[in-house]
Structure 1
Amino acid sequence: MNPKIDLPQTLRWEGGELYLLDQTLLPGKVVEERQDSVEQVWDSIKKLKVRGAPGIGIAGAYGLVVAMKAHQGLEPEAFLAELQKQAEYLDGSRPTAVNLHWALDRMVRHAESLSQNSSDTLWQSLLDEAIRIHDEDRQLCLGMGEAGKSLIREGMGVLTHCNAGSLATSELGTATAPMYLAHQEGVQFKVYADETRPLLQGARLTSWELMQAGIDVTLICDNMAASMMSKGHIDLVITGTDRVAANGDVCNKIGTLGVAILARHYGIPFYVACPYSTIDHDTESGDKIPIEERDPEEIVNWGGHRTAPDNVTVRSPAFDVTPNELVTGLITEKGILRAPYSESIRETYSS
């Protein structure tokens, strides 16, 4: 019998309200927050209460619905002008993950295509489009799972970095989707989850959700990856990504580049899972991707305790860029893309 997959729900629209799972409280507390204003949605994205590239794209789409709920009495032209303003506001919450901009732009363009309708009808169309984005992400995650599950074979050790799981998407995740489907088919394997400093998404989120699903997971600190590879524990690396450039350069959580370099040194395949909404066709290479700088306090304080001297200089980039030559393949909903990525991306998504 295939094992049951029990996955957390990141966000939901119910009874005319948006609810987000506050991921900053995991794994200690499982708390949903109702989002009563666009400012609250912006804050939830900025503070990583909701996170992951697909996850914040979906949250941003619903955030526009929340924002425009109070503007249904406007004339259509004024409604669309306000919609553009609110989209720009939400887009400023996090600059690196392209899914947020993609979802907001899709929502605005959808409403503009219906500009002859009343503002009430426009608001309902926004809600319908947000639900479509949400539902579409479920299918994208399933597609990535189907494309990548054959990479995971009996007895393998699979390393992942940060959280590209169900908590980062609608469900199943990107990097974890092949794991969940392989597990459901009865494949026995072990996942090694990097803790992922400084906010410990691997420790707090990935290990928690994999355990919820009954997958064999071992948590390791970030600086153990080389040792685990050298001792033969790691056979495969799968990560997610917040943005893929047109040439296949991959921007993901800080530390991913180091994992990719180690994987190349030890001859371990390094795969990146990404839906089409994460591929930025307008950014030609990774050096053009804006890298978010986080609050230094996230590094020098943890759990209410100071972990570094006062006034020490701190750098806190949230992401790094892995060059395409270190990527074995891109696991997408349309299959696994191989180098040269400029060609495979263009050919796959030319329509």
Structure 2
Amino acid sequence: MLQSKALGGEQVSLESIEWLSNRRLRLLDQRRLPDRIVYCECSSAPEVAEAIASMTVRGGPAIGIAAAYGIALAAQAIGASEDWNAALAADFELLEGAQSTAISLSWALGIMRQTLRKLTLQQDVPARLLQAAIAVHESDREANRSMARFGVQIFGRRHKKPQRIMLHSNDGALASGGVGTALGVVSAAHEAGLVERVYISETRPLLQGSRLTAWELAQAGVPAQLHIDSAAAHLMKSEDINWVVVAADRIAANGDAICKIGTYALAVLAMHHGLRFMVVASSSCIDLSLEVGDDLPLEERSSRELLQLGERNIDTGTPVSNPVFDVTPADLIDVIVTEKGVIERPDEKKLADLVSHRRLH
């Protein structure tokens, strides 16, 4: 849940994802923030898929939660069926194709498939699928709390004074079902008195840092400073920054992290300047079927996101590359924080141990 100041100055609570009593899914439209608070209501799986594809809802965990509710909406629209797997097949396929990189999407839909397989025709299938979607939502909320707790322990164990932390992209309450991953850890660390200042990269091309992370931290009263992406090296050299903290959309079996574009560069810079590098992600983001990060095809978005400045088109005919994600090699990562525990200096064995439920911390 987010806290935002209304026009009168009082704090109001905002839910980025909310199931409504009239059997609709309400999503906070992240394209309009921070200047406008606008909600989008979805009543069908295609509407949820469009919300994911258009980035009305964004962030791996939030995408997965929305997709789970999308299946619940589809089942409610059908009402009754002699073959639920066939009846929902097109909706599953549509939602699975809405975003290609975030493993949280396939994980959440996998939970919904497992739930569907266990149900019989005598059971209220739409109601059970809604319960499963709510459970996915609550599971992420609880995982966020655990990750925040582990991350704060890492900060407190290594440093006795408040830290200066650099954040990239947006991975807070807007991008999840709870307080968030990377931003959730930093917010919890601030509450524990362990944060002096947060440095926020603007995060091109859609400015998730300047539009969303800066807004979230301002609402929480966390001291922060915004910078252009290309100023990161200069700030690391001149501002005595201690940590870079990022979220991952997917983690390969060897510990490579697939994150928001620009993360790889920050990891290289962090190593050069002696900063520690933390990745925060749910254990569901660990993909043991992906041997190394470079094996995953990475999403590219439209060139219009770089060539359109408001009403102004700056297209000169030059080809445009607009990748959304990059791969940070495991040997540049100091620690991965999950809800199951902490992995320092990640490798294949440590990740496999964590996924098999062995406690690491």
TM-score, normalised via structure 2 length: 0.91
The partner residue of 2:284 within 263, 277, 280 is 277
Partners of 1:323 and 1:216 lie apart in 2 by: 30
2:16 counterpart residue number? 10
Cα 1:316–1:243 change in 2 (3 A) is same
1:58 counterpart residue number? 65
Give matches, 1:258-273, under 5 Å.
258-273=265-280
Answering whether residue 172 of structure 2 is matched by residue 169 of structure 1, we say no
2:86 counterpart residue number? 81
Could you tell me whether the CA contact under 8 Å between 2:301 and 2:322 is conserved in 1?
Answer: yes
Partners of 1:146 and 1:340 lie apart in 2 by: 19
The partner residue of 2:229 within 219, 222, 228 is 222
Higher relative contact order (CA 8 A, sep 6+): 1
1:316 counterpart residue number? 322
2:122 counterpart residue number? 117
Could you tell me whether the CA contact under 8 Å between 1:87 and 1:104 is conserved in 2?
Answer: yes
State the AA in 2 paired with 1:84: A
2:218 counterpart residue number? 211
Cα 1:240–1:340 change in 2 (3 A) is closer
State the AA in 2 paired with 1:229: M
Answering whether residue 35 of structure 2 is matched by residue 28 of structure 1, we say yes
State the AA in 1 paired with 2:344: R
The partner residue of 1:326 within 328, 332, 348 is 332
Cα 1:276–1:7 change in 2 (3 A) is farther
Give the SS at the match of 2:279: strand
Partners of 2:310 and 2:87 lie apart in 1 by: 40
The partner residue of 1:344 within 345, 350, 356 is 350
The partner residue of 2:77 within 57, 70, 78 is 70
Partners of 1:35 and 1:315 lie apart in 2 by: 32
Give the SS at the match of 2:119: coil
Task: Quote the RMSD (CA, aligned, Å).
Answer: 1.8
Aligned residues: 344
CA shift at 1:7, angstroms?
7.0
Cα 1:74–1:63 change in 2 (3 A) is same
Could you tell me whether the CA contact under 8 Å between 2:282 and 2:338 is conserved in 1?
Answer: yes
Partners of 2:224 and 2:12 lie apart in 1 by: 15
> Runs of 5+ in structure 1 lacking a partner?
none
- Identity within the alignment, %: 38
Deviates more, 1:41-50 or 1:228-237: 228-237
Partners of 1:195 and 1:81 lie apart in 2 by: 44
Give matches, 1:233-248, under 5 Å.
233-248=240-255
CA shift at 1:6, angstroms?
8.0
Over 4 Å off, 4+ runs: 4-8
Partners of 2:300 and 2:17 lie apart in 1 by: 26
Could you tell me whether the CA contact under 8 Å between 2:258 and 2:328 is conserved in 1?
Answer: yes
Give the SS at the match of 2:182: coil
Give the SS at the match of 2:265: helix
CA shift at 1:39, angstroms?
1.7
1:160 counterpart residue number? 167
Could you tell me whether the CA contact under 8 Å between 1:167 and 1:173 is conserved in 2?
Answer: yes
The partner residue of 1:39 within 32, 40, 46 is 46
Cα 1:8–1:307 change in 2 (3 A) is farther
2:314 counterpart residue number? 307
CA shift at 1:191, angstroms?
0.5
2:134 counterpart residue number? 131
Give the SS at the match of 1:189: strand
Partners of 2:195 and 2:245 lie apart in 1 by: 17
Give the SS at the match of 1:210: helix
Partners of 1:27 and 1:148 lie apart in 2 by: 27
CA shift at 1:70, angstroms?
1.4
Deviations 1:258-307 (A, max 9, x none): 00000011111011001011111211110121211101111111322223
> Runs of 5+ in structure 2 lacking a partner?
5-10
TM-score, normalised via structure 1 length: 0.94
2:7 counterpart residue number? none
Partners of 2:249 and 2:72 lie apart in 1 by: 23
Could you tell me whether the CA contact under 8 Å between 1:7 and 1:213 is conserved in 2?
Answer: no
Partners of 1:43 and 1:192 lie apart in 2 by: 32
Answering whether residue 150 of structure 2 is matched by residue 147 of structure 1, we say yes
2:193 counterpart residue number? 186
Partners of 1:87 and 1:278 lie apart in 2 by: 19
Could you tell me whether the CA contact under 8 Å between 1:8 and 1:166 is conserved in 2?
Answer: no
Partners of 1:186 and 1:234 lie apart in 2 by: 16
